[in-house]
Structure 1
Amino acid sequence: MAWMVVTRRKMLAISGAGVAFSAAGLVPPSIAEPSLKIAHILTGFTPGLPDAVARLVADQMKDYAASIVVETRPGASGRVAVEAVKAAAPDGSVLLLAPLGFLTLFPHVYKTLRYEPRDFIPVSTVASFPTLLTVGPKVPREVKTLAEFITWCRANPTQATYGTAGAGSTLHFIGAMLGRTARFEYLHVPYQGRAAIQDLVKGEIASAIMPLGSSVGLVQSGELRALATTGPRRSAFLPDVPTMAEAGYPSLQDLTWFGFFVPAKTPAVTVERLNGSIQAALRTDDVKAGMAKQFVEIDAIPMADFNRLLASESDRWKAIVQATEFTPTD
């Protein structure tokens, strides 16, 4: 399919096993002493997963800056924080932690953006996680598989709804792709934050397509039923839940990646130093344990692969947006 994701394994195979930090083969300098008195990590959402991930990593980066402040700058689907980092001094003191969609998806769903991919240097991916399709009490209890749910949706088109965290999001398009691929009417209901899960539990909507961590506890308690994840393999957090590929829809494979970015023109030596500090933080037991509590997997790839991943994902989401006939918004 045109929109098949390039997985981490495929990406590493494309780039070659020996790639380290950049095409130039640069080695990160020593990071024994902090080079900055204070650094700021900006996230574009209200306190939640991005904020938690940022704080986990920041706590282990004292070799990069003596003090690291994590700031939430919510607004415009994360674009407020993105624009603030673009405008920041290119000296490594202001970082952005964000899902890759602000560079790979947003250019295809917004008519006007106040930034371009070239305004940022990708430093390091830090984590990835799949999306989870769950159903609630609105759907009969005997519906336990994706195939059975699709059959139910076809028989109940006015009730075949799915909630997400917003229109024009990756979650929105995964649902649109499912309806298009399986040939049934799947009505999107956009929400803010985790509100879709609340309405799902109350039976207001039939299903939700949300990040895996948003409903693991409710699945484990039996309040919701998990039908499929979008990862390339089953999630360690829900090992009994099949992937979309196992359920017969390999084109719906998708991971949400989080990564660090700095303003363009940040010196290469600073980027390398930051990359080394982030990579070291991700290897600590505290970060590993903290990530597991957030139901995300540590997923750091070399810088050269990060650039290739961004390009591949941008092409993939462009094809998806065009295939679903989504009309870009302001």
Structure 2
Amino acid sequence: MAWMVMTRRDMLAMSGASIAFSAAGLVPQGIAEPGVKSAHILTGFTPGLPDAVARLIADQMKGYAASIVVETRPGASGRVAVEAVRAAAPDGSVLLLAPLGFVTLFPHVYKTLRYEPRDFTPVSTVASFPTLLTVGPKVPREARTLAEFIAWCRANPTQATYGTAGAGSTLHFIGAMLGRTARFEYLHVPYQGRAAIQDLVRGEIASAIMPLGGSLGLVQSGELRALATTGPRRSPFLPDVPTMAEAGYPSLQDITWFGFFVPARTPVAIVERLNKAIQDALHTDEVKAGMAKQFVEIDAIPLADFARLITSESERWKAIVQATEFTPTD
């Protein structure tokens, strides 16, 4: 089975998907005059990339609100913030900035959620970045390519481990997909946050699959070795590191998208005004420079395409979860 990430051409071709998405309540309905005096942007993780991206954009959203406050509400893999936004008034005063996984992956890995994808209206994508496969001192330095690492894993099955930020995450499934596709035993070791990188540097695990920015500095210093990224093209931050496709595994292409959401039933006039404020912010030099410092690329697509992206990504992750025989958790 191929698990390719959808290209923009693919998304634009899926016109029927957007109709279904609208029917599910995920495209804003109704018209009302916007009038936001103050706004809050919620992120579901401890201070880090989401928080930094939210503050960068909030500082440049001129004219949307008199004040915009960024709040971190960590917990339950981001679901605490998601549930708070679901319960907020649909008036454009409370926004969620989150990876798309909460609507594209979580419904397939949790038995019960206290929300449904249709409880939110997508506003704008803002950034994307690939996942990076790195190895540490546990793996001999002679293994400098993905093929050589896989050969080492096959020869050392009890040591062929990879760490991620948690079971049931996209990172977990990328590793599971690699093991299935390359036909070797690849043992997943879930961690909290960036703890996997610490154990990787210490030689406790063989490899890690994490967002690119999480280990880039250690790759640049030589403490870790980068073998491949999952993007559709090489990352501008690691131009010498091949993609999974270049390494012979095109089905492992994947990128993580971040986007803004508001509660369902938010009037379309507010959604459009918010979308414009975010899009304008993304074009400022301040946001461009700040995103580069976070090692993410600005990636904003039209509002209608955002709906199609969510639909196609949800279908893709559903197939992946089923193929890996992952048992949904509570």
Within a 5 Å distance, the mapping from 1:250-265 to structure 2 comes to 250-265=250-265
SS in 1 for 2:4: coil
Aligned to 1:66: 66
Conserved? CA contact 1:2–1:316, under 8 Å: no
Counterpart in the other structure of 2:293: 293
- Which residue of structure 1 aligns with residue 97 of structure 2? 97
Q: C-alpha displacement at 1:74, in angstroms?
A: 0.5
Shift of 1:180: 0.4
Q: Distance in 2 between matches of 1:177 and 1:257?
A: 19
Residue 92 of structure 2 is aligned to residue 87 of structure 1: no
Q: Which amino acid aligns with 2:58?
A: A
Given residue 57 of structure 1, which amino acid in structure 2 is its aligned partner? Answer: I
Stretch of structure 1 that moved more, 35-44 or 203-212: 35-44
- Residue 122 of structure 2 aligns to a residue whose secondary structure is strand
Q: Deviation at 1:38?
A: 1.1
SS in 2 for 1:193: coil
Partners of 1:42 and 1:94 within 8 A in 2: yes
| Deviation per residue, 1:24-53 (Å, 9 max, x gap) | xx9xx9x9xx94221000000000000000
C-alpha separation between the residues in 1 aligned to 2:110 and 2:162?
22
Name the SS for the 2:96 alignment partner. Answer: strand
Q: Secondary structure at the match of 2:115?
A: coil
Deviations 1:185-219 (A, max 9, x none): 00000001111011101101000000000011111
* Counterpart-to-counterpart distance in 1, 2:247 and 2:2: 19
Give how far 1:14 is off: 5.4
RMSD over equivalenced CA pairs, Å: 1.7
CA contact (8 A) 1:135 1:200 kept: yes
TM-score by length of 2: 0.93
SS of the equivalent of 2:69 reads strand
CA distance in 2, matches of 1:104, 1:76: 16
**Contact between 1:97 and 1:259, CA under 8 Å: does it hold in 2?**
yes
- How big is the shift at 1:108? 0.2
- The alpha-carbon deviation at position 3 of structure 1 amounts to 2.0
Matches within 5 A, 1:1-330: 1-12=1-12, 35-330=35-330
Distance 1:46 1:242 in 2: 31
Query: TM-score normalised to the size of structure 1?
Result: 0.93
The structural deviation recorded for 1:251 is 0.4
Q: Deviation at 1:9?
A: 4.9
Q: Hey, what's the Cα distance between the residues in 2 that align with 1:46 and 1:196?
A: 16
Indicate conservation of the 8 Å contact 1:37/1:66, yes or no.
yes
Counterpart contact for 1:2–1:319, Cα < 8 Å: no
Give the percent of matched residue pairs that are identical in Structure 1 and Structure 2: 89
AA aligned opposite 1:208: A
Consecutive unaligned residues of structure 2, counting only runs of 5 or more, are 16-21, 23-27
Counterpart residue type for residue 100 of structure 2:
L
| Aligned equivalents of 2:291, 2:5: Cα separation in 1 | 23
Structure 1 gap segments, 5+ residues each: 16-21
Q: CA deviation at 1:273?
A: 0.2
1:89 alignment partner AA = A
Distance 2:14 2:74 in 1: 36
**What CA distance in whole angstroms lies between the structure 2 residues aligned with 1:9 and 1:208?**
32
Q: Secondary structure at the match of 2:305?
A: helix
Q: Following the alignment from structure 1 to structure 2, what is the Cα–Cα distance between the partners of residues 46 and 8? A: 31
Q: Is the 8 Å Cα contact of residues 122 and 307 (structure 1) preserved in structure 2?
A: yes
1:156 Cα deviation (Å)?
0.3
Alignment check: 8 A CA contact 2:53 2:291 kept: yes
* Amino acid of the structure 2 residue aligned with 1:61: M
SS of residue matched to 1:215: helix
Q: Partner residue of 2:18? A: none
Partner Cα distance (1:91, 1:167) in 2: 35
Deviations 1:306-330 (A, max 9, x none): 0000000000000000000000000
By how many angstroms is 1:4 displaced?
Answer: 1.6
Deviations 1:49-101 (A, max 9, x none): 00000000000013101110000010110000000000000000000000000
Following the alignment from structure 1 to structure 2, what is the Cα–Cα distance between the partners of residues 58 and 13? 33
CA distance in 1, matches of 2:53, 2:158: 39
What count of residue pairs does the alignment treat as equivalent? 316
Equivalent pair of 2:42/2:72 in contact (CA under 8 Å): yes
> Helix, strand or coil: the match of 1:242?
coil
TM-fit CA distance, 1:12: 4.5
Structure 1 letter corresponding to 2:224? L
